[in-house]
Chains A and B, each alone.
Chain A
Amino acid sequence: MSAPTLTRPGGRVLEKAAEADAPRRGGATRRRTAGTVLIVLAVVAYLVFRTDGAPDSDDAAAFRFFDSVRDWVDANRDTSPFFLYGINYVRLGVRLLVDVVQAGLYGLGFAGLVAAVSAIALVLAGWRTGLLAFLGFLAFGVLGLWDESVDTLVLTLSAVLLSVLIGVPLGVLAARVRWVGATLRPVLDVMQIMPTFAYLAPMTLLFLIGEPAAVIATMIYAVPATIRITALGISEVPPTAVEAATALGSTRWQLLSKVRLPMARTTLALAVNQTIMLALSMVVITALIDAPGLGQNIVNALERVNVGAAFNAGVAIVILAVVLDRITTNAARQTRIHHARRSRLIQTGIAIVVVIAAALVTINPESLPQWSAAAPVNDLVGWIELHWFDATEGIKNRVSEFLLNPLESVLVTTPWWLFVAAVAAFGTLVSGWRAALIAALSAAGIAGLGLWQHSMQTLATVLVAILLTMVIGVSVGVFCARHDRLATAVRPVLDAAQTMPSFVYLLPAVALFGNSRFTAIVAAIIFAVPPVVRLVERGVRDVPPTVVEAALSAGSTPRQLLWKVQLPMARGGLLLAANQGIVMVLAMVVVGGLVGAGALGYDVVAGFSQRELFGEGLAAGLAIVLLGILLDRLTQGFHDSKGPRR
């Protein structure tokens, strides 16, 4: 019914006809009709009111405001009590923490640190993981990236320490005290959809550039996961054990320390694992605000489009991610197994002795045989440029010509009020008026920031990327759900993909497509496809076997089974995947500002590097947040529709 309706204005006739057709499905039909009417209205309004899409001014009121905020902060940093007694102490405290961790790790020396990490892995997670950790940390030396790797580890560990210190108590409170949980939930929601890029600028404003700002930004990025998973673990403790302990006369504190926390320890270990992975991926990005470490190598190399040089650092990051992930995941798994305490104590004792001995040995990591992937990777990239140029260029141009450019020009030439109205209307239809109101306010906020053109360009890129992500993700997900062997083959790839810090995904995209808008899209797709595949596969697999059996016994072909039974019933999973995917895509598209994606991401990066662009950068960061909230709220109604639509 949709094809002819598009050409018909008004749509009232249609409403009646449709109701006569299907009186029993009135609700769904009415929604569909309303959607059609809205689309028609929007198209008509666009055709009537479209603008010529003037470029953003360099001097919007918002920029000047943020510049003046910055000037005020700079002028008062050492006099205002807010800084003198608050922020500056936080900075000093975090600086102290970083210095202590740094002194500890550097104090161990190369041999000592390698031994310490291997020993920790060995004791906590078993000998395989110990071996992996040993080889992985040796590899940092072989790659010639020892100091950078340790710097990244220092920042990650500092941020994780802070996150655990803050997040675990908050998580316990959130699980045990109703109002704390209710207050935290929306805050965490917003924190988790904030693209990493967006809060770097405010951090530099408050904490200057360097390690403290990096650690705090990382902590803010990672702590929602710590809080959430801790709260989950605490609330999952079986009530029977708690009741039994209460009946024996435990105090609240005894219940927490002897029952709840120990029983949630597997989940707590998982919380630490997630915190570490998130922190690592953020620490790499904080290179943009002058944090030391592997991220610096990547940023510098990307600026020179030297994929090979970036590749070395990328490999080191992936190794660090894999080692940290394996240690914590296996440690979490080991918490379920009961060990004899004695053998554990002996193991720990031996490990400590070995580490101390190793710390006394001085080995210069540069004396290891050195190896670098730079030359071969650059050769490969050169080869790809030479031989695949037509293909990659073809894909790039096709997508730009048929998807990106038309969409971008439509969005850019849409007057802002029409966009806000459209967001409100469609939002109400999809996610209810509350979410629509928030989304519309975000849209209006974007308009008010004076970055309309850049925001719409970013939005166009995001929409194209999510479209491609969903097409690829759904196909692969459905395939995996229907072919067990494929699924087993793909699963470790997905696992690995999800442990990698987002920055790393830029590298293959740059290698294939050079510096362009399209590169950001490719990176976003690589970044967002794995979780989408996962959610789609789960959605399709969760279709009850009895229903599938019934459809098969009615004589459905596999294709009919897919289109008429499995996909409609997996609707909840698909929509959830879209919601999750869109937030990830936005985060990555913005990071793509580093590799020529332009628009908001570029504004943010420029804001860090050029003083006169600070205001614009901050405004762009805010615009990104608003865009994130808008996209999330618009698709949020998807969460609720778990089952097939009735």
Chain B
Amino acid sequence: MTPMIAVADLWKVFGPRAERVPGSALADLPRAELRARTGCLAAVRDVSFEVRPGEVFVVMGLSGSGKSTLVRCLTRLIEPTSGEISIGGEPVRAMTPKRLRDLRRRQVAMVFQHFGLLPHRQVLDNVAYGLEIQGVTKAERHRKATEMLALVGLDGQEHHYPDQLSGGMQQRVGLARALATDPEVLLFDEPFSALDPLIRRDMQAEVRRLHAEVGKTLVFITHDLAEALTLGDRIAVLRDGELVQVGTPEELVGAPVDSYVADFVRDVPRSDVLTLRWIVRDPAPGELVEDVPLPHGTVIRDAVHRVMRAERPIQVVDGEKRLGVIDADQMLAALVSHHRQVPA
């Protein structure tokens, strides 16, 4: 299957004569040293990844890790310094300004952290903006915008102005605006970080629902691990502009590649993310097991009830293959093994 988005060896360096950095000896310098030596800041360093159609791909990193720059490079809102980007198989960096505008108008839409709504337009006209600049007639774009507002649960708010809405509602408008042009790809740049925790949870649910309903490819930027784990089919962890690890939530929590990622996922309740395959043990010779095995894809938490009630260990199988057994000992260890942060 061809990837929806493919990024290869992408660099974005800010500063004087930035183009000399990628591919030279300077490229291997750590960030701080590069800055001291050349005055350049490498925001994105040699990043490569692919996003499959219909996938929710989360890019996660702390502030300053270059994730916002990365997502802006995808549609050249920020011009990359070097590397390849293709969307739908078409190289983005080779596009003419006109073709690029067309890409932004029809194929890729973006939702922003600070909403970026136009305060002088009513909600309806904000949502219709993308269609308006494509030259869609007023009746048609208003019909479409009304439909989108209904989709994000804002029926009846069409004629309000953005500053009359709450933050969460404003971001729904931003979402509706992005959806209105019916793009193949939606880019989310920390869309919910400016919102209250409760509203954030609502909005995450909203995104999950919309993804299920409209089935777009989503690239989602966040600094919030919980958000990444809830939403992401796959997660890319970014540090100082470099990709540290790309994998499913389970892979990240179960097998972090280095201490940085491990530190990141340390507080995650493992039993909520990991499946049984991560905690099976080999059966002791001649050990008796329960009759009905558990499939290996079961999340640990969902198996608690059965395992704790069972009198004997339970087999975990991957189809016909036996992976091992689990019993209350493994269960308890998995349930308590994530560390709470304790003040020193």
Are B118 and A262 in touch, CB under 8 angstroms? yes
- Does B181 belong to the interface (CB within 8 Å)? yes
- Does A245 belong to the interface (CB within 8 Å)? yes
Q: Report the separation of the CA atoms of residues A421 and B288 in the bound assembly, to the nearest whole angstrom.
A: 108
- Does B177 belong to the interface (CB within 8 Å)? yes
Task: Evaluate whether A247 and B104 lie within 8 angstroms (CB atoms) in the complex, with A240-B112, A254-B133, A258-B129 already known.
Answer: yes
Are B133 and A263 in touch, CB under 8 angstroms? no
Task: Evaluate whether A248 and B105 lie within 8 angstroms (CB atoms) in the complex, with A243-B112, A338-B161 already known.
Answer: yes
Q: Report the separation of the CA atoms of residues A245 and B118 in the bound assembly, to the nearest whole angstrom.
A: 9
Chain B nearest CB, measured from A260 CB (Å)? 10
- Does B109 belong to the interface (CB within 8 Å)? yes
- Does A249 belong to the interface (CB within 8 Å)? yes
Q: Which residues of B contact A245 (CB under 8 A)?
A: 116, 118, 129, 133
Q: Report the separation of the CA atoms of residues A262 and B126 in the bound assembly, to the nearest whole angstrom.
A: 13
Chain A nearest CB, measured from B249 CB (Å)? 28
B75 in complex: contacting residue of A247, A250, A262, CB < 8 Å: A247
Number of A-B contacts (CB under 8 A): 72
Are A248 and B109 in touch, CB under 8 angstroms? yes
Chain B nearest CB, measured from A84 CB (Å)? 44
Are B104 and A241 in touch, CB under 8 angstroms? no
Q: Which residues of A contact B114 (CB under 8 A)?
A: 238, 240
A249 in complex: contacting residue of B112, B130, B161, B164, CB < 8 Å: B130
| Closest residue on chain A to residue B180 by CB atoms | A248
Are B104 and A249 in touch, CB under 8 angstroms? yes
Q: Report the separation of the CA atoms of residues A250 and B132 in the bound assembly, to the nearest whole angstrom.
A: 10
| Closest residue on chain A to residue B103 by CB atoms | A249
Q: Report the separation of the CA atoms of residues A394 and B5 in the bound assembly, to the nearest whole angstrom.
A: 87
Task: Evaluate whether A247 and B110 lie within 8 angstroms (CB atoms) in the complex, with A254-B133, A258-B133 already known.
Answer: yes
Q: CB within 8 Å of B: which of A71-110?
A: none
Are A244 and B117 in touch, CB under 8 angstroms? yes
Q: CB within 8 Å of B: which of A246-300?
A: 246-251, 254, 258-259, 262-263, 265
Q: Which residues of A contact B318 (CB under 8 A)?
A: none
Q: Which residues of B contact A265 (CB under 8 A)?
A: 120
Q: Report the separation of the CA atoms of residues A244 and B112 in the bound assembly, to the nearest whole angstrom.
A: 7
Q: Report the separation of the CA atoms of residues A248 and B109 in the bound assembly, to the nearest whole angstrom.
A: 6
Are A263 and B102 in touch, CB under 8 angstroms? no
| Closest residue on chain B to residue A251 by CB atoms | B101
B120 in complex: contacting residue of A247, A248, A254, A263, CB < 8 Å: A263
Q: Which residues of B contact A248 (CB under 8 A)?
A: 104-105, 109-110, 129-130, 133, 177, 181
Q: Which residues of A contact B117 (CB under 8 A)?
A: 241, 244
Chain B nearest CB, measured from A204 CB (Å)? 44
Q: CB within 8 Å of A: which of B91-114?
A: 101-106, 108-110, 112, 114
- Does B192 belong to the interface (CB within 8 Å)? no
Are A246 and B112 in touch, CB under 8 angstroms? no
- Does B119 belong to the interface (CB within 8 Å)? yes
Q: Report the separation of the CA atoms of residues A238 and B162 in the bound assembly, to the nearest whole angstrom.
A: 15
Q: Report the separation of the CA atoms of residues A243 and B161 in the bound assembly, to the nearest whole angstrom.
A: 20
Task: Evaluate whether A263 and B116 lie within 8 angstroms (CB atoms) in the complex, with A245-B129, A248-B109, A250-B133 already known.
Answer: no
| Closest residue on chain B to residue A244 by CB atoms | B116
Q: Which residues of A contact B121 (CB under 8 A)?
A: 262
- Does B115 belong to the interface (CB within 8 Å)? yes
Are B118 and A241 in touch, CB under 8 angstroms? yes
| Closest residue on chain A to residue B100 by CB atoms | A249
Are A262 and B130 in touch, CB under 8 angstroms? no
| Closest residue on chain A to residue B129 by CB atoms | A248
Are A249 and B116 in touch, CB under 8 angstroms? no
Are B120 and A262 in touch, CB under 8 angstroms? yes
Q: Which residues of A contact B75 (CB under 8 A)?
A: 247
Q: Report the separation of the CA atoms of residues A241 and B116 in the bound assembly, to the nearest whole angstrom.
A: 4
Q: Which residues of B contact A238 (CB under 8 A)?
A: 114, 116
Are A240 and B101 in touch, CB under 8 angstroms? no
A247 in complex: contacting residue of B77, B102, B106, B134, CB < 8 Å: B77
Q: Report the separation of the CA atoms of residues A274 and B121 in the bound assembly, to the nearest whole angstrom.
A: 26
Q: Which residues of B contact A247 (CB under 8 A)?
A: 75, 77, 104, 108-110, 112, 187
Q: Which residues of B contact A249 (CB under 8 A)?
A: 101-106, 130, 133-134
Chain A nearest CB, measured from B195 CB (Å)? 15
Q: Report the separation of the CA atoms of residues A265 and B104 in the bound assembly, to the nearest whole angstrom.
A: 27
Chain B nearest CB, measured from A612 CB (Å)? 59
Q: Report the separation of the CA atoms of residues A238 and B115 in the bound assembly, to the nearest whole angstrom.
A: 11
Q: Report the separation of the CA atoms of residues A144 and B20 in the bound assembly, to the nearest whole angstrom.
A: 76
Q: Report the separation of the CA atoms of residues A254 and B135 in the bound assembly, to the nearest whole angstrom.
A: 11
Are A240 and B115 in touch, CB under 8 angstroms? yes
Are A243 and B130 in touch, CB under 8 angstroms? no
Q: Which residues of A contact B115 (CB under 8 A)?
A: 240, 244
Q: Report the separation of the CA atoms of residues A241 and B173 in the bound assembly, to the nearest whole angstrom.
A: 13
Chain B nearest CB, measured from A224 CB (Å)? 27
Q: Which residues of A contact B119 (CB under 8 A)?
A: 241, 263
Q: Which residues of A contact B77 (CB under 8 A)?
A: 243, 246-247
Q: Report the separation of the CA atoms of residues A244 and B119 in the bound assembly, to the nearest whole angstrom.
A: 13
Q: Report the separation of the CA atoms of residues A245 and B181 in the bound assembly, to the nearest whole angstrom.
A: 13
| Closest residue on chain A to residue B112 by CB atoms | A244
Q: Which residues of A contact B129 (CB under 8 A)?
A: 245, 248, 258
Q: Report the separation of the CA atoms of residues A338 and B120 in the bound assembly, to the nearest whole angstrom.
A: 8
Q: Which residues of A contact B110 (CB under 8 A)?
A: 244, 247-248
Q: Report the separation of the CA atoms of residues A338 and B101 in the bound assembly, to the nearest whole angstrom.
A: 31
Q: Which residues of A contact B108 (CB under 8 A)?
A: 247
Q: Report the separation of the CA atoms of residues A248 and B108 in the bound assembly, to the nearest whole angstrom.
A: 8
> Residue-by-residue, is A308-349 near B (CB-CB < 8 Å gives 1, otherwise 0)?
000000000000000000000000000000100000000000
Chain A nearest CB, measured from B85 CB (Å)? 15
A251 in complex: contacting residue of B109, B112, B133, B181, CB < 8 Å: B133
Q: Which residues of A contact B132 (CB under 8 A)?
A: 258
Q: Which residues of B contact A263 (CB under 8 A)?
A: 118-120
Q: Which residues of B contact A251 (CB under 8 A)?
A: 101, 133
Are B130 and A259 in touch, CB under 8 angstroms? no
Chain A nearest CB, measured from B86 CB (Å)? 18
A259 in complex: contacting residue of B109, B118, B161, CB < 8 Å: B118
Listed from nearest, the 8 A-B pairs whose CB atoms lie closest are A244-B116, A249-B105, A249-B104, A248-B130, A247-B110, A240-B116, A240-B114, A262-B120
Taking A240-B116, A249-B101, A254-B133 as given, write out 8 further A-B residue pairs in contact, using a Cβ cutoff of 8 Å, ordered by the A residue number: A241-B117, A241-B119, A244-B116, A245-B116, A248-B177, A248-B181, A251-B101, A338-B122
Residues of B in contact with A (beta carbons under 8 Å apart): 75, 77, 101-106, 108-110, 112, 114-122, 129-130, 132-134, 161, 164, 174, 177, 181, 187
What are 8 sample pairs from A and B whose C-beta atoms fall under 8 A apart?
A240-B114, A241-B117, A244-B117, A248-B130, A249-B133, A249-B134, A250-B133, A251-B133
